[in-house]
A and B are shown apart, each in its own frame.
Chain A
Amino acid sequence: MSVALLVGGLLAVASVVLVAAPFLREPVASDDRLLQPDAAQRRRLAHAEERDRALDALRELEFDHRTGKVSDEDYRTQVGDLRQRAAAALRQADG
């Protein structure tokens, strides 16, 4: 019975401490803002994803070509455009 009380008490204390911890650590926070990425950061993220997607598509095309899923003609048709997209995406992401 006393074990139950002890555990119960510990649990209650621990819960309160855990929940209050952020406020106990920083009673007065210099910056309490939960920042959202601003427009510039969102754009950069979108560009980074676009760049990775373009590079990935290029890599897949090369691999598919090497394993025979994409014929030589299809490869020639698609690779130019994909390379342009990748280059553009790289420029946007790094620029």
Chain B
Amino acid sequence: MPDLGRAALVTSFLLLVYASAAGVFAAWHGRRRLAESAQNALIAAFASTTVAVVVLLTALARHDFSYSYVAQHTSRELPLGYTLTAFWGGQEGSLLLWLFVLCGYSVAAVLTARRAGREVIAWVVPVLGLIGSFFAMLLVFVASPFATQAAPADGAGLNPSLQNPYMAIHPPMLYLGYVGLTVPFAFAMGALLARRTDERWIVATRRWTLAAWAFLGVGQLLGAHWAYVEIGWGGYYAWDPVENAALMPWLAATAYLHSVMIQEKRGMLKVWNVLLVVLAFCLSIFGTFLTRSGIIQSIHSFTQSSIGPWFLGFICFITAASLALVFARLPLLRAKTRLESLVSREATFLYNNLLLVALALTILWGVIYPLVSEAVTGQAATVSKPYYNFFLHSFGLPLLLLMGIGPLVAWRRASLRALGRTFLWPVVAALAAGIGLLAAGAGSSRIGVIAYTFSVFVLASIVLEFARGTRARRALGGVGWGGAFTSLVSRNRRRYGGYVVHAAVVLLAIGVAGSSAYQTVRETRLHPGDSMNVAGNRVVFRGFDTKLEGNHRAIRANVDVYRGGDYLGRYRPGKNQYFAEDQVSNEVSIRHDLLTGGDLFMIADQVNADGSVDLKVLQKPLVNLIWLAGLVFVGGSLIALWPDAREERRLAERYEGVTVRA
């Protein structure tokens, strides 16, 4: 069976190379049948990769430890669910997942985005084929999931902190995002190669980009949630290079989603857009390179890792090739329209873009700083939270504000008087909120007050957008308030879905500000009967319980929480000691306050021989807004993604009229 897996991967590799080579030849010389053949090769590569996936899944399900990969990442007592999701738990398997998702996306995009035009698709196929060939090459020659060995009695098992539903679903979500960014990139390159100056390819790939971006965002929130409940240090984001690896492409993709709207509406910023999509794609490949190569540990581990140099070479090639192509097509991309006013919606989108890219680049700098400093001074130096927080505040807070300003500004030119009127209520609301917050004692954190005030401004402007739009729609006659609202959103799904996504980002900002700027942290050693006070909660330690489970010993500190005179419940933070893996995992206990959205986060930091516990308790206001924001984000994205029959008809009429007739 491993031979079948290997053979399937070799087949995928050959098919993808064929798709690239034949695709280039067919597009260059204008050969229709060869172009179709190259496209079919992509489909066959998807089938072949699926076979490889099935082989690995079967081996995992059967606990076939003759596969090195299965032995390294699973064990006999691992539950079936985690055994199967161990598929993407290691280097080789996750590369196979990448290739699988890439082939799937390639086939789906090429078949459904026909509106982009046959001559563009003819170039998109070899671009996708080339990228796929790289990953297939790695799987065949460098990191095969089908390496075999003498089967040991039992496998090494999965790291206990990964045995968690969030960690199981987080990689596929992230990959659907990372890999999804390949589609707009390939279409952008395809359009440039085919010398197209129209927007067909943007229109054709719009939904793909939005979906990839949404998956990447959700994937990150899932990862943050996992870190919060599983790793349990009391936080959800540590500015770790691996976390940043997903954030950077997401920021670039966010910028791209916005600037693409300007290109559609005004025909400007074509060069900027294409550079953004190249940046987003390169950052996504760079991101996976960071996660895999261990390069950030030190430059020495880079040379030891076999996969690092390949990725680095690939990134350099892709960056150089795409920039060269953009440069070569520069005359075609010159816009005919210009930015008319610094106070217009186009301008606010441009400011938004600049801030997003600035944030992404400063994060990138922070991530590669150890390498750069070592190369330049011989001494590696790192940056940490203060660096990232500084730039997050410097760029993130203005971005937050812009989210409220942008929708209220007209296209082309906005007069200051009109602005004054539209901004009036949001500004009043924000100022009132600010004063209220200061009165309530939120002044302890300046950043917190600013973040909250800006958030109120944005929320008010979003609510106003919906309200004014509904009123205008209703004034047209024929519908009541409800009908006007649904009609408004339905006719403008991207805009209003976008507003819902903005609301999600605001919720995220409020949640982050509350749980970081206004949290209370206390740590004390408690003997049974002792108590500690954390932000008005009295936490009493009652003693330990130890229990033997299947593959671990569970030690729990029994803790009672009171507030005022009320008993809020018993919580049991503690530790699990895993026998097979010889590891201890932290099991935190969290009390969610549904009314205030805050959490009481309890960590049994150290279990002492004398029966006492070093208990660390954090009170994190509003932290659950972050997870709520995730749900709102999904809802908004779905609205924006929802197919619109009317728009489809309009686009069909626009483009089919000029379809090339064979």
Contacts and interface: CB of A to CB of B under 8 A. Distances in A.
B472 A36 contact: no
Given A20-B37, A36-B119, A57-B265, A7 B658 contact: no
A45 B30 CA distance: 21
B48 A15 contact: yes
Contacts of A73: 415
Contacts of A37: 117, 119, 658, 660
B433 interface: no
Contacts of A68: 418, 421-422, 468
Given A14-B44, A70-B418, A8 B30 contact: no
A45 B658 contact: yes
Nearest to A46: B198
Contacts, number: 155
Interface string B35-76: 111001101100110010000000000000000000000000
Contacts of A7: 4, 51
Kindly state the interface size class of chain A when it binds its partner.
Answer: 35 or more
B654 A78 contact: no
Contacts of B122: 34
Contact of A35 (B44, B197, B421, B662): B662
A53 B200 CA distance: 13
B662 A69 contact: no
B30 A71 contact: no
B83 to A, nearest CB: 21
Nearest to A63: B472
Nearest to A20: B37
Interface stretch (B385-393, B405-413, B577-585): B405-413
A66 interface: yes
B657 to A, nearest CB: 7
B410 A4 contact: no
Interface in B393-427: 408-415, 417-418, 421-422
Contact of A4 (B4, B650, B657): B4
Contacts of B417: 71
A32 B411 contact: no
Interface string B511-534: 000000000000000000000000
A36 B30 contact: yes
Contact of B30 (A20, A33, A42): A33
A69 B410 contact: yes
Interface in A5-24: 5, 7-8, 11-12, 14-15, 18-23
Nearest to A66: B472
Given A37-B119, A53-B267, A78-B412, A48 B654 contact: yes
Nearest to B264: A53
A18 B411 contact: no
B15 interface: yes
A29 B650 CA distance: 34
Contact of B266 (A1, A20, A53): A53
B11 A12 contact: yes
Contact of B660 (A36, A50, A66): A36
A36 B33 contact: no
A19 B654 contact: no
Interface in B451-499: 465, 468-469, 471-472, 475
A73 B421 CA distance: 14
21 contacts: A11-B7, A11-B47, A15-B11, A18-B40, A18-B43, A22-B32, A22-B40, A29-B32, A29-B33, A31-B32, A34-B122, A35-B118, A35-B119, A37-B660, A45-B198, A53-B264, A66-B475, A69-B410, A69-B422, A71-B418, A74-B418
Given A15-B48, A19-B44, A67-B471, 12 more contacts: A15-B11, A18-B44, A22-B32, A22-B36, A23-B37, A31-B662, A35-B660, A36-B30, A48-B658, A67-B469, A68-B422, A78-B413
Interface of A: 1, 4-5, 7-8, 11-12, 14-15, 18-23, 26, 29, 31-37, 41-42, 44-46, 48-50, 52-53, 56-57, 60-61, 63-64, 66-71, 73-74, 78
Nearest 6 interchain pairs by C-beta: A4-B4, A67-B468, A22-B36, A22-B33, A34-B30, A66-B472
